[in-house]
Amino acid sequence: MNNSRILVTGGAGFIGSALIRHYATCTEVQIANLDALTYAGNVESLASVVEAPRYRFYHADICDAAALEQIFTEFQPDAVMHLAAESHVDRSIDGPASFIQTNIVGTYTLLEACRAYWQGLPAERKSAFRFHHISTDEVYGDLEGTDDLFTEETAYAPSSPYSASKASSDHLVRAWQRTYGLPVLITNCSNNYGPYHFPEKLIPHVILNALHGKPIPVYGDGSQIRDWLYVEDHARALCRVLEAGKIGETYNIGGHNEKRNIEVVEAICALLEELAPEKPSGVAQYRDLITFVKDRPGHDARYAIDASKIQRELGWQPTETFESGIRKTVSWYLNNPEWWQRVLSGDYKLGRLGETASAQQTSGENS
């Protein structure tokens, strides 16, 4: 893959930025980042790679067919890795329209732009081209038993507007492969965590609320179970699937780390006791801030991934345990307050126009 040109959609998001940092650090590929910079897109997560000559940025929306056509024509990718999505369950419950627009209409628009580009490639490049769609285990719904696992053959049963929109996008990708022959790969991952995670998500929300002496909200009784995957392990898995995955196949990516939500919260509180012993005024122990709140509608009880296929066929397995990954994550937030402070204040949005203009100028973008 070292001579390849890879277009990453949603590359300013949490997983997308980890993927781009991995490619920039560990390979020689040329990377184009296509991102609309909605609220969770943060170019500051890419500060370490933004000046790299192999990196360019396109400020565009995957729903904009004309912009997509221009980007494909200019960058001439050998592969597309599609991560652009609205991804927060609570937001999808409060306002599902943007999830339908981005995750379904946007994926359709991207697929059509990709198909038109792919069909015009010379035979050798056409056969080597890949469209890698990155999805979630939430499309499977939830598991009732304590021993059941999601496999690549598990029937879809999404519970929220978010997961339903992602399930829809998965179906579109498969249809474009079967109907038009577009060479696709699909991955469904478990819950990610790690550095640069937007503060509305569970783990960074717990860390930052605790550091500020604010209540740590836990839905219901905190018994919901998730399989936690360190984001840098996920980035390695995505690279491996693009490199060696079989066209038309789905690969589940999990961290082998099932934890109840309350266990996750308590683990973070314990680490903060060790790593940040000077607490906010009035806080005796971080765990005293835990507050149980009304459960969200349709809250899935348990997710758990069977990741044996990707390990068996592609040789990937996670390197981080939950214990090692959560320690790295808490330490990162303690050591990088300037990043999350700018997110919490909204200042991360202020530099977007200037930074975007600079990135477009260096990449040659003229839209």
Nearest to 229, CA basis, from 334, 303, 159, 142? 303
Query: Which CATH number covers residue 15?
Result: 3.40.50.720
| Catalytic site positions | 137-138, 162
| Owning domain of residue 237 | 5-363
- Whether this prediction's pTM lies above 0.85 is answered by yes
Quote the pLDDT of residue 1: 63
Nearest to 108, CA basis, from 138, 65, 137, 158? 65
Report, in angstroms and rounded to the nearest whole number, the Rg of the chain calculated over CA atoms: 20
What are the E-state strand segments in the chain? 5-9, 30-35, 55-59, 79-82, 130-136, 184-189, 191-193, 216-219, 225-230, 250-253, 258-260, 290-293
Burial of 203: CB neighbours in 10 Å, binned 0-12, 13-18, 19+:
buried
Give 156-175 pLDDT, tens digit per residue.
Answer: 999 999 999 999 999 999 99
For residues 174 and 186, the answer to whether their CB atoms sit within 8 Å is yes
Give 317-348 pLDDT, tens digit per residue.
Answer: 999 999 999 999 999 999 999 999 999 999 99
User: What's the chain's average pLDDT?
Assistant: 93
For residues 303 and 191, the answer to whether their CB atoms sit within 8 Å is yes
Looking at the predicted structure, is the pLDDT value of residue 211 above 60? yes
Maximum distance among all Cα pairs of the chain, rounded to whole angstroms = 68
Give the separation between CA 366 and CA 344, rounded to whole angstroms.
Answer: 32
Number of domains, the chain:
1
Give the separation between CA 364 and CA 40, rounded to whole angstroms.
Answer: 25
Query: What are the phi and psi torsion angles at 78 (to 5°)?
Result: -95, -15
